[in-house]
Structure 1
Amino acid sequence: MSSTTLKIVAVVAVLLAVVLAIIGFQMSRNYAEQAQKAQQRVQQQEVQQTLAVVALKPLAAYKPIARDAVALVPVSVVPANPYESIDDVVGKVPLVDVDAGAPVTRRYFKEGNVLARIIPPGHQAVSVEVNDVIAVGGFVRPGDIVDLLLYLRGGAGVDEPQSRVLLKDVRVLAYEERIIDRPEGIKEDEKQRSRVRTAVLAVPDKDTTRVMLGASLGELRLALHSPGEPVAAETAAAAPDKAIGVSELTRIRPPPSVQPTPPPPSVEILRGSAREVVTTR
């Protein structure tokens, strides 16, 4: 082989080596960039993950959640209103079934309305229809203590019209459509004030049927207590109901008889033939 041919072969080999080196460098650079991008994506996913309580097995509705049925795990998609502590979930009762693997959120549970949370133990919330006259001129407010009065007309087992205290020391839980008073400065519509409204009372469990029967037989009225007046521990069933009938109310009592004034005591003194009477006062 001539020297010229050898030179050409050597040049081609050098060029081929340079091309291969460039291709290898480009491939390694692309591989490094792809690896770096993949690592960044993984890091971004790890940053975006949030710890949330997830059901490890199906949770049945209306049954308390056991501690081993849930776990705190990272989630990529943050659910609405999640729980971030297992202690916040254990013992709660869901209203619907929760599938395994689903995040346990607050929408599964009954938080309870404000009125239900303020009912005293052993009582029930009973609404009575009232207007401004029945509700002490409309001045009754939630939290007040009232007596529930009942007026019975004659008939339907009642010999004569009468009035009595149906329940004593009843707490008003709500009046109109509010459980607490409106802020100062908000004026109420007079048309709305004149219509019939409701008052929600905390009635002892054993007296709810008593209130229902009384409302169906007669007219109810609220009697407001003074704020400083102590509330009796006993219910109206054990307290006098102050019942009074028409015959007693309209009875004409004779005036008290006037007794003659007795004469003052006296002492008779005899001095010989003389006789003298002396009063002691």
Structure 2
Amino acid sequence: MRRLERKSLFLALSVALTLTGLLLYVTQQQARQDKPVIPVVIAVEKIPARSVIQAKQIEETLVPEKYALTGHAAQASQVVGQVARETLFPGEQILTGRLVQGSDGLAAIIPNGYRAISVKVEPVAAVGGLVKRGDFIDILVFTGPPLVPSPSAKTIFENVEILETGPGKTPEEITVITLCMKPKDAETLFLYNKTGELRLALRAPGDTGPILLPVRSAEPAL
């Protein structure tokens, strides 16, 4: 008899728990229906200012309509390939106003106190066309007679950001590099571009340290 009562009690508790779970599920679904959600695009990792946004750095998600920020991007296609006007942090909604649109041009991403200067380079000088927007480079110059007594080479600028490359149908055909520099440095680069031969040295990501190298001169042949 007691065994039967225990079974009945256990069965009643099981039914009660099942009904409670079902009721909770229905309530949650009803709450979701009562609160419309809309798609937004968020950053999933830190996106540095003035960098090109990649698909792996963002994702689409749904949020309650009241939590969607004004001007948010709703689709990844609105964000991928655009340039971040300022640093974007993980979890934050990406607003279209914080992206550099095509009509904004380079002026929108040049920091205060800097200038965009373009120099013409041969494909081999542009690291065989491997450089791209957002890369950082060192700039070397070669000079020789009659401007100087003997041929020499030296690094004249370090850790310079590339704002844009082109034109060229393929990377190997890059003929112009646009750089972000201080006005005084831009003047110096222009002078060296006219009087010497430039080479670009591509830096590894995260390598921002200075280098200390002497001027290299060609030794006279014996």
TM-score by length of 1: 0.39
TM score, norm. by length of structure 2: 0.49
Q: Of the two, which has the highest radius of gyration?
A: 1
